[in-house]
Structure formats: C-alpha cells, structure tokens
Structure 1
C-alpha cells in the first residue's frame, strides 16, 4: 500500500486486545460543535468516519477520542457526527453497529464488524464492505447520479458478465461500429460533427439521458472543466454513452461558449484529456481497454467573427466500470488506516462464494459469505464429514449447568504439575454460573503465534453474562506477560470474527495471573483492557455461546484447501476430529511419534500443519525444520508452501551439514529404503541426539501402500514404535472409489504381500470411509496399449471440455520406464486430436501429469487413469491397485493391459 493511502492522523493503538483507533481530540456536544469553524468540523468528522469505516471492514473495534472541551459530566456526541455515521450505516440499524460511552476524559465509539444482509438472486441487498462512496456514477434521466452502494454488486456483476460475452464475440470493431451508429441517431451527433456554432444559437434538443449541458466558469476554466467532468464521464461510460456540451446553458439550450481571451485552448484540451485518462477503472476484459471518448473544441462565432469556444466530449459506453475517483473506503492494515485501491474495493465488493461446480458434489458449505464479515473466507468440508455444529458439541459442549474445564486430560496434567494452579483458577471462575474454561498449553501457538517461555497455560473463559476472558497463567511474574496475553487475545478476537465469522458484538478481556504457593494467594499483573465495554458485548445465553464456540471451531480446525491453488481463490477446509486430536498433541511430550494413516486420511495435511506448530512452539526458522519424502513431486509440492526445507530421502542421506536442522518430518516413510544408509538412525541422531535441545521427529506412513518389495525399509519394527497414532478415517475418495478401496483392503488383509509386516494390517480393520460423495470407478481390460491410450485421450478431452483443467488429471503407470516410453506419444496425440477437432479450449497436454504410481505417492488428483499390467503375484498386484486407487478423488479408471 502506498504511503499516500495511509492516514497519519489516526493511530492504531497496540496496547489493547482489540482494534483501537485513537482519533485525537474531538469537540463533543451539540452546542460546542456549532461554535467550531467549518474546516475543523469537517476535519473531525472525516477522522471519525474513516476510523469507523476501517473498523467495520476489519473485524470491529473501538474509536477512542479525547474530549477537547474537558467535560466531566455526560455529553452527547453531536448531531453532525451522528449524521456523518449514517452515511456508512442506515439509520434503522445504526445502533446494531455503533454504541457510545463516555469514560473519564475519553469518549468511545464501539464498532461491531460489518456483515451484509442475506444474498438474493441479484446479490447481497447490502454491500459486502462499508464505503462512504462508491465513486461509480450512472445516468438517470438528465442527471449523473452517484450509484447507491446496495446496487453496486448487481452493476459490477452485469459489467463482468457483459465484458466476458463481448470478448467471446468475433468482432470488437463491429461492436464499436454499432455504438457509433446509435450515436449517429442522436440529434446531438449532428452538432458534434460541426466545426462551429453561432453565439446565442438555440440547440434543437434538450438535456436527456444521453446529453448534458454545462456552462463555463468565469475563472480558471481548465481547472473547472477538469473538476466537473469525472462524474459525467463515469456516468455516460457506465450507462449508454452520451455527449457533454460545455458552453451551453442547461435551461435555455443557448450556445454561450467561453470568450477566446479567457481560455487557452491547448491547455484546456490537455487538462481535459489528462483528467479523463486518470479516471480509475477496473478491467474485466482481457484487452484492458481505455475509456473511449472523443474531445472536440467547436468555434463560437458572433457576427461572423470568432467569439470563443464550446467544448464537446462524446463518451462511448464502457465494457468495464469507470469511476469518478477512487472509492472512499478504508481498512486497518497492520498499524495503518489505509484507503482501498479501486481494484481491492471491486474485489471485495464482488466477493461471493466460489463457483465449485466441478466440486459441488464433493463438498458441503460450512460457512458461506452471505451475511458475513468482509474478511471472512468460505469454508467447505468433504461430504459426510462432521459439520461445525457437531464438532463444537464434541469439542466445546456447553454444560447444562455449572462451569466445566476442558479438555479434562490437560486440566489433570496441569493441576498435578503446578501447585496452587487449581485453587487459583477456581477463584477466577467462581462467580460464573455456566460456561466453559478452555485450556491450552499456549493459545498463542493454537492461533499461529509464537509461544512464550514461562507460560504455564492459557485459559479462555466462555461464560454466560460475561464477555469472553483470556487468562494467562505464568510460572512467575514477567514484565512481558501482559503484552503476550494482550497480543494473544487481540489475535483471537480478530480470528473469531474474520476467520470464524462471528457476527455478534465481541471483545476478549485479558487477565494475567501466577500461582503463589507460599502465600496460597494469586498474584495479578492486571487487566490488559482499560476500556469498559457495554453490556451488549456480554454473552447472555447458550445460543450466543454456541455461536461463538462454532466460530472457535473454524479458527482452530480450518486450513487452506488445496483447491485454493486450482481455483485462484482462497477457501478453507476443516480437519476431522481424528486429525485435530493428533495436531493438538503436546510436542514436548511427543518428540518422536509414528502416525499410521490409511490412504486419503490426511497425513500430508497434518504433516504441513504440524510444521507450522513446531515453528511457533520452538521459535525456529523454516530452514531449521526438515521435511523428507521419497519422491520429487511431493517434495516440490511441499517446497512451494514455504514452511520448511524439503528434500528427498536421497538428498537427506547426502547432507553433511545438519547443524541447523532441529526438527524432522518424514512423510510416506513406508517407501523408504536403506540403499543410501540408515535414514531413521540419522534422523533420530539429528533430532534426539542433543541432550540440551531435543527436537521433533514425526514419521507418517502407511504400510499398505508400500511400493518396493524390500522388507527392511529402515523403519523400526512396529513393536519398537512406542509412540504411535492412527488415522483411519478416509476423507479423500468418492463413494465408488472408496468401495473399491474397501474391497482391495480386504484382499490385502486376506493375502498380505510379503513386504508388509503382518501386525500393520490391524489398522485396516478400523478403516472408515466418508459416505455421500458421488463419482466414478471403472475397470477396463485392453489387449494392446494403442487402444488403451486412445481411450485415455478421448476421456481427457471429454473432461477438459466439461470444465476440468489439465491439472485435475493424472495418468499413472505401474513402472517408470513405461512413463518414459509413452509420455511423448501421448502429448503428440493430444495435440493432434485437439487441432483436428478445431478445439479452442486452451488444452495443454503437457500439464496433464504422466508418471509412475510410486513417484505420485502422497499426492492426489480429481481424475486418475491407472495403467497397470495384469502380471506377477496377486498380493503385489492388490497393493498396486490400492496405491493407485487412493490417488483419485472423484473419477478413477483402472485400465488393465493383458500381456
């Protein structure tokens, strides 16, 4: 964001657990404000309106103002300030978003996060974000009118749709000719084609939808024209086009012009053209078209001699929105109040749930953008998984009476480890009759912040008739304890609104404590909020508590969906309970852990998320966390996430300088081998060999997907894997594929391959596949590769024409040498087939992945073609079928070639 977009007169205060904007001294009270000079009144109103708009768009918060008139007694804000706030919020709902309170020498405006109304067929009835002005004009009768913010979504949506339609039409020149023809039917076009007019001449047409008359100002004419034309250019360009005549009386239609001695024609022309070219616009079309206008200066003749000039601008309708200026809307970005750029504003105004047409059968919406805060992202889960309401009841069920501590296991651990902690906490929660105290070793780490040393635990109180309260319990007094608690509470509040989409009034109060067993009393470091919030910020009933806790579920269990990269639009998914329980483990007590996960149970997701947790738990850098896998594709995929240093096993075994490495995550370990040395011993020595600083070694594996036939893959025996967890819920595959996997698993269990430890098969009994996702699973037999590849090419073209992208498709072979043999012929055949069909779907055959099943381990695609030869031992063949089928989300084609 450029510096000129920041408001330096507004200060975001960082010493509160909420967004607090200090607007400085403000004169309050109706009588006092009436005595102010107009300039000061406007300055104060603008500061408050910008702060209010920024908070509405950024999750809510508090506007703090020092009362310039030093009132000790209660004072009203002032009618002009209230009227200004109504420009942001309709009067009917003003109280729902703003509350005021005087406290000492300060006056506060409490601002709830904005949330739009439910969406109708034409879009949201209220806009997605708050703005003082859209700066979008349109033509209505003889007026250029500023567009109502409630109409902006429909307007922008129509413009975007029309721009796309126009691009698909064959001739842009033909469209422009059509517009010109419409202009020529307008009587104003006859005047526009002239070179001169008579002074006092009455034009034979009035102002209309397509004609605007303006007179010249008597002073600084170029500046006057530059200032008046933006709204008219915007209005005509956004509607049907039209003519602006400057130098014609709008009532009499009389040509008056501007005396030649009062204007520099060249300067007038330059100022006008520059002003039009600088008008903000957002391009929906690929051509990035400019504003299409023609400027003419007509001579005005009086008694046969040149008297002066008339300026005429013909404006063509624009396929993309044209603004009179940058929209007036603000957000908080870091420590600054920034005005949104035109592109940001349009993007947020048009922010709706993504088009998941290709995936709609696979996912269910957990959180739609309808009626949600501006920064919220949509949340989806795989069909058949627990909804956020179910997850909330499982994790944070509000008791019928009394106040419960959760999770109970952590409560028992903490109270046994720290003397005086139980009594200290009971004293804090004693006044509350109903609710939850949610414990964590570090709420900061849970919120993706860095852990603080010396913190025993954090506890979030969600209780009836109280605002949420975050307690930080320290081992001993610490000057930075309050800062840590405040920062954590601030992040929690922001995430509950902007990620969890809580739409009620919300604050998170803070308190820092530490046990003092010597005196058997608690020691307070004080409260982090000196602002006394209104009672409307208290949770009054179970419905409000559960709504807040469901937002908390989204905060804790959401992660960026892999679909985001495909869609170019961020969406979130939710972890399963199994996944969350593993992710919630105390890393210091689980430094070495083996996670056995069935195909599609989310091992790689957990691996990525645990690396983020390690970084925050131990305050380490990305290059101090090593991710090791067997294949290059998976390594490249993780590298792009920028959360660690990713290498393959072979590279890991060649690494000599490992001093910086503190923590190691091993993925798809069942496919490792000892060809290059004992990888497990090396990883264990690096992470567990230091007495003073033991690191984390987590190993993810699935014996049923073992690729090679070597029994000694470097892993310790299962009986030696003392710390072990299991992921048994399969969430990746559509129902037909899941059924195929179940039958294959039974085959493997009945006839296990020799390279799989028999005791590892017990996990297969626990397998649970998510139901409710439609898809395809087809098995076809072929006698030769030519017919098989022709079928694959035809199906690929079918999916690509149906809206899938090349990145959705993988063609997997059982052997690497087959990939090398058939890759070039496949790509050539795809290209040839596309050209013969005159297909303009921008298909890039090189983006359809052709690889081996082994090298694709740990990855997935919506559509998978598996090419396998029916040969060899049946147990080995079953294992290959399992590894192949588990890679497909929705469509699986197993194509067997008889040798």
Structure 2
C-alpha cells in the first residue's frame, strides 16, 4: 500500500509487545474539555480518533495518552471524544471495541481489532472509517454516506461494472436540460422547475469566491456523479427558483470557469471497470439580462452519471504502516472496503474454508484447506489439545530433549507454571523462527503459555545475561499478537505479556521483568474458558501452518492453505541436529512447498542471507518459479555443475532429485562438499525426491537407499481431484510392479503407505484419436468451453513428450485457436488467449511445454498430447508425472497406432 500521508504527531512505540500509539498530551474529562478553545479541542480529538482508527484497522492495540490535566483523581475521556469513537465504529456500544484505564499520568485506550461486530447478521464494511468522503443525492440535497451506506454503494457499483461496459447517460430533468441549452436568462426570471434529485440551486458567495467554489464543487459534483448525474445552477435562489445571478463586474467568467474545472478534475475517481475515464461534465455561463442589457451571469454545470465512484477527498481512514500512522488513499480504501473472499471457479468443490474474511481484521486473508484434509479444529486438537484439567507441556519430545540438555530448565519452568492450573505450554527452540523472524543464538528456548484466567504469556529462556534479551522477547510477542489477529483471524480481545528467564551455565535461574508489564490490561483481555483458549489455538494453527497457496498467482489475490500434520512435523525438526535429510514424497504430497518453507526457516535459524542458500532443480521453469519467490539463489543442476563460484553458499536444497543425472559430474558429492566446508558447523543439505516420477534410465547420482539417512516420507497426496488420484494410483501400481532398472524397488514401498484426499470432484479422460488434427480440434473446443465457463488461460497446461513435439504442435494449436468463431468467444477474449512455454508460469497464458520441463509445477487443467517415452521402461513414470500435474481436470489424448 502507498500510504505516504502520515501524521507526524502520532508516535508508534517500539518497546511494547503490542501496537502502542502515543498521541502526546490531551486534556481529559468532560468539564476540562469544555474549557478548551475550539481549535485545541479539535486538534486533541483528531489525534485520539486517528490513532484509534489506525489501531482498529491494524489488528488492535493501545492508545497511550499523556494527561494534560491534573491526574490525582480518575477522569473519563470526555463526551466529544466518546462521540467520535462511536462514529468510528458506527455503534453506541463503545465497550465492544474500546476500554480505558488510567495509570498515573497516563490514560490508556485499549482498542480491539475491527472485525467482529457486536451485531449479527448483516454484512459490514471491511475497514473502519471516520468519514467516507462519498456524497450522493438524497431528495433535493446532497448527503455524505456513512460507512455502511458507502459499503453497499461500492458493492453495487462493483457489481454493475462487471455487467455493463458503459453506463448509459440518463436524462434526469428535461426542463433543466432545456434551460441549460439556453444562452440567456432574464434577471428575476422564475425557472420552470424546482430543486430535485438531479437539480441544485446555489447563490454565489462573494466573500471568498475561490474557497466557496471549492467547497460546493467538492461535495455537489461527486453527489451528482454518484447518483445518476444532474445540474448545478450557481446564481439561482433555491426557494423561489428566481434567477439572481452575479454582476459581471464581480467575477471574471474565464477565471471562474478555470477554477471550477480545476476543482472537478482534482476530485478522486476510483474505478471497478476498465474505462479509467474521468468525470464527464460541462461548465457554461448563461448571460443574465436586465431590461435587455447584460447585467451578469448564471453559472451552470452539467454532470454526467459516473460509471464507478467519485470522492470529494481521500476518506478519513487510517492504518499503521511501520512506524507511521498513515491516511489511506481513496483507491486503497475502496480495495479494503469491498475486499472479500475470492470467487474462485470450483473453489467450494475443491477446498473448505478455514477462515473467511467476514468479521475478521481488515488485514486478514482467506484460508482454505483441501477437501479431505484436517480442518483447523482437527489440527488444533492434534497439535495443541486443551486438557480438561492440568497444564500440558507440548511437544513432549521437545520438552524431554530440552530438559535433558539443560539440567535446571525443568525446575525453572515448573516454578513459573506453579500459579497456573489449566491450559497448555507450547515450547519451541525459537518462537521467532516459527513466526518468520531471525533466531537469537543466546536463546535456549521460548514457551507460550495459553491458560485460563490469564493473558497469553511468552517466556524466553536465555543461557546468559543479554541486554537485547528483552527486546527479542518483546519483538517476538508483538509479531505473535499481530499474526494471531491479522493472519489467524482471532476476534477476541488479545494481548501477549512477556517474561525473560535466565538459566546460567552454573544452573542458576532468575526472572527478568519485561517492559509489557508497564501496561496493565483489563481482565477482558484474559482467556476466560476452554472455548476462548481453543479459538485462540485454532488461530495459532493458521499462523504456524499456513502458506501462500499456488492459487494466489492464478487468481490475483493472496490465498492461504494449511500444511498437513505430516508436513508441519518435518518443518518442525531441529535444524541444528538435522543438517542432512532425504525427503521421499509421493506425487502431489507438497515437496516443493516444504522446500520453500524450509529455506525460509534456514535463513532465520542461522541468520544467513538469501544469497547463502542454494536451491537446485533439474528444469528451468521450476528454477524460475522459485527465483521469483526471492527466498534463495536458484539454479538448475547443469548450472550447478558448470559453475564453480559458490563461495557464499552455506546451505543447499535439492528438489526433484530423482531426475538428476551424473552426465556432468557427481552433483551429490559437490553439494555435500559445499555444505560440509565448515566441519564444526556444517550447512544444511536437504534432498527432495520421488522415485515414481523418474523420467530416465540413467544414473541419478543419488546415494544407495541404505545411505539415504536420515530419511522422512510424505505419503499424504493433497493435490489431485478424486478421478485423477484414482488414475495416478493405477499408474503407480504399474511402476511398482515393473520399475525401471535404475529405481531401487525398496524405495517404491512408500506406495503401501499412501493416503489420498477424498471427496474432491474432478475429471479424468483418456481417449484415442486417428489424427493429430483431431486432437488439436478437441483441445481447442475444450479450451473454448473452459474459458467461457469461468476458467482463465493460466488454469491450463498442454504437455508434450519432448521438445520436438512442442515445436510441431505449437503452430497447430495456435492456428486452431485463431479459427475460433466470434459466437464462441468474444473478440476481446480471443485476443487475450496466448500460448507460451512454462518459463513464465505465473503469466496469463496457456502453457505448452514438455512433461519433464513442467515437473514440480501444477495447473488446474492439464492436457497430455500423445505421451510416449524414448525409453519405454519409463513410460509409466512419464504418465504419472503428467497426470500428477493436474489438480482438477486431466485429458490424455493419444494417437491410435
């Protein structure tokens, strides 16, 4: 977001585990505020309201007020402040979002995140605003829209923009149009029509003409533009309809016209449609005659209906960005106001919503899981169950490991837990790394306490005194709180307290108080019961297990998916003890997702740069896909073997290793030598592979299976719809029964453990044709049908056996596409259809490439053209690789022999 217009008088504090905005000195108390001069009262009020609005829109937090008046006795805020806070939330129920507490010279306003409404039922705006800056006509006057009305107005405009290419001009008042076309009016003439929905009469104020014109233009012109168009006559009495005009000596018409046009052109226009047009208007000066002589003029402005939305100024709505409180632009405000769960083709058939945007923080993103996989409730019960009584430590394996490594840790933690009787203590070697922050090497462990009748507490255990220990704990707690609300969708009142513990090498332990204790939160911020604890832990599951879905690139907005328990457990490994790991994963089990996530964890755990982590794969499209994520240095295996300049590289992740070859040298030995340069502190070497998708008979360069240790398996297939998954299973069985000679049969036993997602609808078709032209016609007609029914070009991939076939089929397929009739697809859509290779996988085009080059990638719909292998023994492997690329629909089209 581009929110450069920030309020420099508001300070976002960095020493708290919550979002705290200091507004400086403010006079509080009803009586005290009434004594203030109007300007000072408004300035103080604006600071408080802007800070509160920014916190509502940014996940909640605390407004810190330094009391300008005597603080010996408790005081209330003041009625004017309360009224404006009520306007912010469009509700009289202040306590639903705001609570206050006076502590010494400071007054704290605790702000819950905007999202969950005290009312139920009707939809509400996604963002909180003091003023929409959207005007409309209401009867014979203009009216400023409230947040809910603005929300409905924008949703309606968005809907109409999708249905209509152009808003038709409306003739709102024939009589007004007739007068507008005249050149002259008589002084004192009574116009034959009154003010109405489409007509406004104004008299010219000569005290400050420029300011007057700016004022009426900024409100009345948007009101007409947003309400079907209309006419503004300046120089006509509104009650009598009498023409009074303004004397020719008073105003220079050319100058006044320029001021009006400039004022209109500076209005904020926001589009949902593709036109990007500006307001269509006409400014005229009608001569006003007095007994046949020119006396003066009447200014008339005709405004055409506007296709989308016109603002008088940027809405009065704020957010926190970094260390600044920033006012949103009109475009940003509209984007957030109408933000909603994406309408994805077939999404409800394939996925189940785990977090919708309804009632959530304005910064939340939708979260889905594939059908057949665990929901967030199931994941929470598996990973972070809340027992009916007692305090549980989890993960138990990590607790045992930490207790054995540090003799006095168990005593120290148990002492801290003594006051608490029920809940769960979640341990981690670094909660910072879990939240995608950098690890602090002096930290032994972190522990998050979720317990009844208490706020969340984050404990950090240090091995030695460290001046930055508290700031680390505070920063981690701050990030956790923000993510629980803005990513995890938690809707309750929430804070995270911090506590730093010192466990010296001698076994001595002590507690160091945290800065968060300086703010005493209300008891409503404590977790009251099992229901609240489990709701928070389900939000925590989303924070820890969510990843950016590959669907995000296809639909143009961010969507999050959830890891499986199996995937999460691999990612949760202690990297200091798992420097080398082989991960065998079935097709569609999420190997590339885990590879990307582990590289992020490596960077944060070891404090290294992206240039120090190397990702190696066999094909260029997958390399480019990973490069675009900007999480590492990515190369192909061929480049890895030909390039000797890897001096910066410390850690290596290998993907799709089953398709590697030794024709350019021993890649495994080279990778091992690079990561083991530092004998005392070797780097990471993680290798992802799937023998079932081996595409050649040559040596892969992988060590023998007995030397692939330690080893983990991903046997939960999560990508394919049921019909495709059934076909994949059949092909895998064929591979297992007749493996190519270069595949160790023992490595195919993972098939016995395979688990498949259920109840995901889809389509799988295998058909033979007599000629290639018939195949081209079928693909073309099917693509026509798919594109007419909501799919886009970026949903479709057409895969061939080899590069020679791609060169042959590309002109045939492109030619067939160009022959489409206009009755099948519009001319505009026809021009948008492009066919390219997989190098730009995120582009809006149909992919035409080889099966091998598409390895590691996926699309909703995949066509396979006459699949065959140069080495017959790997034909089933090739078919498997082809089929597993398709999420929803698979078409394998073969030439009859």
Q: TM-score range by the shorter chain?
A: over 0.9
Out of 433, 437, 449, the residue aligned to residue 425 of structure 2 is 437
Q: Does 1:28 align with 2:15?
A: no
SS at match of 1:87: helix
* CA apart distance, 1:69: 1.0
* CA apart distance, 1:622: 1.2
Gaps of 5+ in 1: none
* CA apart distance, 1:777: 1.1
Q: How does 1:356-755 map to 2 (within 5 A)?
A: 356-516=344-504, 518=506, 520-710=508-698, 712-755=699-742
Q: Once the two structures are superposed, what CA deviation does each residue of 1:181-235 show, in whole Å capped at 9, x if it has no partner?
A: x25x521222212222222222222111111111121312232112122111111
SS at match of 1:48: helix
Q: TM-score, normalised by structure 1?
A: 0.96
* CA apart distance, 1:253: 1.7
Q: Whole-Å Cα distance in 1 between the matches of residues 118 and 598 of structure 2? A: 37
* CA apart distance, 1:890: 1.0
CA contact (8 A) 1:830 1:845 kept: no
2:316 match:
328
Q: Once the two structures are superposed, what CA deviation does each residue of 1:463-491 show, in whole Å capped at 9, x if it has no partner?
A: 00000000110001100000000000000
CA contact (8 A) 1:117 1:370 kept: no
Out of 844, 858, 861, the residue aligned to residue 834 of structure 2 is 844
Per mean C-alpha deviation after superposition, the further-off stretch among 237-246 and 388-397 is: 237-246
Out of 307, 331, 343, the residue aligned to residue 319 of structure 1 is 307
Seen in structure 2, the aligned counterparts of structure 1 residues 118 and 50 have a Cα distance that, compared at 3 Å, is closer
Per mean C-alpha deviation after superposition, the further-off stretch among 298-307 and 537-546 is: 298-307
SS at match of 1:461: strand
Q: Whole-Å Cα distance in 2 between the matches of residues 722 and 32 of structure 1? A: 74
Q: Whole-Å Cα distance in 2 between the matches of residues 118 and 46 of structure 1? A: 25
* CA apart distance, 1:749: 2.2
* CA apart distance, 1:518: 4.6
CA contact (8 A) 1:199 1:302 kept: yes
Q: Does 1:348 align with 2:336?
A: yes
* CA apart distance, 1:780: 1.1
Seen in structure 2, the aligned counterparts of structure 1 residues 3 and 783 have a Cα distance that, compared at 3 Å, is closer
Per mean C-alpha deviation after superposition, the further-off stretch among 620-629 and 811-820 is: 811-820
1:891 match:
889
* CA apart distance, 1:519: 7.3
Q: Once the two structures are superposed, what CA deviation does each residue of 1:757-782 show, in whole Å capped at 9, x if it has no partner?
A: 01101111111110011111111123
Seen in structure 2, the aligned counterparts of structure 1 residues 519 and 855 have a Cα distance that, compared at 3 Å, is closer
CA contact (8 A) 1:477 1:525 kept: no
* CA apart distance, 1:825: 2.1
Q: Whole-Å Cα distance in 2 between the matches of residues 531 and 361 of structure 1? A: 47
* CA apart distance, 1:263: 2.0
Q: Once the two structures are superposed, what CA deviation does each residue of 1:855-889 show, in whole Å capped at 9, x if it has no partner?
A: 21111111112233578887533222222211111
Q: Whole-Å Cα distance in 2 between the matches of residues 197 and 781 of structure 1? A: 81
1:785 match:
772
Q: Whole-Å Cα distance in 2 between the matches of residues 314 and 868 of structure 1? A: 64
Q: Does 1:811 align with 2:798?
A: yes
1:43 match:
43
CA contact (8 A) 1:280 1:325 kept: yes
Seen in structure 2, the aligned counterparts of structure 1 residues 670 and 838 have a Cα distance that, compared at 3 Å, is closer
SS at match of 1:451: coil
1:160 match:
158
Per mean C-alpha deviation after superposition, the further-off stretch among 538-547 and 157-166 is: 157-166
Seen in structure 2, the aligned counterparts of structure 1 residues 517 and 865 have a Cα distance that, compared at 3 Å, is closer
2:85 match:
85
* CA apart distance, 1:692: 4.2
Seen in structure 2, the aligned counterparts of structure 1 residues 324 and 656 have a Cα distance that, compared at 3 Å, is same
* CA apart distance, 1:785: 2.8
SS at match of 1:219: coil
SS at match of 2:447: strand
2:839 match:
none
Q: Whole-Å Cα distance in 2 between the matches of residues 189 and 779 of structure 1? A: 66
Seen in structure 2, the aligned counterparts of structure 1 residues 686 and 155 have a Cα distance that, compared at 3 Å, is same
1:60 match:
60
SS at match of 2:269: coil
Seen in structure 2, the aligned counterparts of structure 1 residues 545 and 895 have a Cα distance that, compared at 3 Å, is same
CA contact (8 A) 2:98 2:109 kept: yes
1:272 match:
260
Q: Whole-Å Cα distance in 1 between the matches of residues 794 and 801 of structure 2? A: 20
CA contact (8 A) 2:798 2:846 kept: yes
CA contact (8 A) 2:721 2:760 kept: yes
Q: Whole-Å Cα distance in 1 between the matches of residues 109 and 479 of structure 2? A: 21
Q: Once the two structures are superposed, what CA deviation does each residue of 1:525-552 show, in whole Å capped at 9, x if it has no partner?
A: 5443410000000001000000000000
* CA apart distance, 1:852: 1.9
Q: Does 1:190 align with 2:188?
A: no
Q: Whole-Å Cα distance in 2 between the matches of residues 336 and 871 of structure 1? A: 59
1:291 match:
279
SS at match of 2:423: strand
CA contact (8 A) 1:358 1:803 kept: no
Seen in structure 2, the aligned counterparts of structure 1 residues 370 and 836 have a Cα distance that, compared at 3 Å, is closer
SS at match of 1:85: helix
CA contact (8 A) 2:199 2:232 kept: yes
* CA apart distance, 1:670: 0.3
Q: Whole-Å Cα distance in 1 between the matches of residues 16 and 682 of structure 2? A: 36
CA contact (8 A) 1:420 1:517 kept: no
Seen in structure 2, the aligned counterparts of structure 1 residues 643 and 746 have a Cα distance that, compared at 3 Å, is same
* CA apart distance, 1:894: 1.9
| Structural RMSD (CA) | 1.9
Per mean C-alpha deviation after superposition, the further-off stretch among 391-400 and 780-789 is: 780-789
Gaps of 5+ in 2: 837-844
2:11 match:
11
SS at match of 1:707: coil
* CA apart distance, 1:261: 2.5
SS at match of 1:559: strand
CA contact (8 A) 1:299 1:309 kept: yes
**How many residue pairs align between the two structures?**
886
Seen in structure 2, the aligned counterparts of structure 1 residues 804 and 838 have a Cα distance that, compared at 3 Å, is closer
Seen in structure 2, the aligned counterparts of structure 1 residues 125 and 857 have a Cα distance that, compared at 3 Å, is closer
* CA apart distance, 1:829: 2.3
CA contact (8 A) 1:819 1:850 kept: yes
Seen in structure 2, the aligned counterparts of structure 1 residues 16 and 881 have a Cα distance that, compared at 3 Å, is same
Q: Whole-Å Cα distance in 2 between the matches of residues 427 and 817 of structure 1? A: 71
1:769 match:
756
Q: Once the two structures are superposed, what CA deviation does each residue of 1:310-362 show, in whole Å capped at 9, x if it has no partner?
A: 21111111111111111110000000000000000000010011001243311
* CA apart distance, 1:845: 3.4
Q: Whole-Å Cα distance in 1 between the matches of residues 3 and 83 of structure 2? A: 30
1:860 match:
858
Q: Does 1:151 align with 2:139?
A: no
Q: Whole-Å Cα distance in 2 between the matches of residues 812 and 303 of structure 1? A: 84
1:129 match:
127
Q: Whole-Å Cα distance in 2 between the matches of residues 531 and 117 of structure 1? A: 26
Q: Whole-Å Cα distance in 2 between the matches of residues 4 and 390 of structure 1? A: 43
SS at match of 1:261: coil
Q: Whole-Å Cα distance in 2 between the matches of residues 684 and 246 of structure 1? A: 82
* CA apart distance, 1:819: 2.1
Seen in structure 2, the aligned counterparts of structure 1 residues 765 and 2 have a Cα distance that, compared at 3 Å, is closer
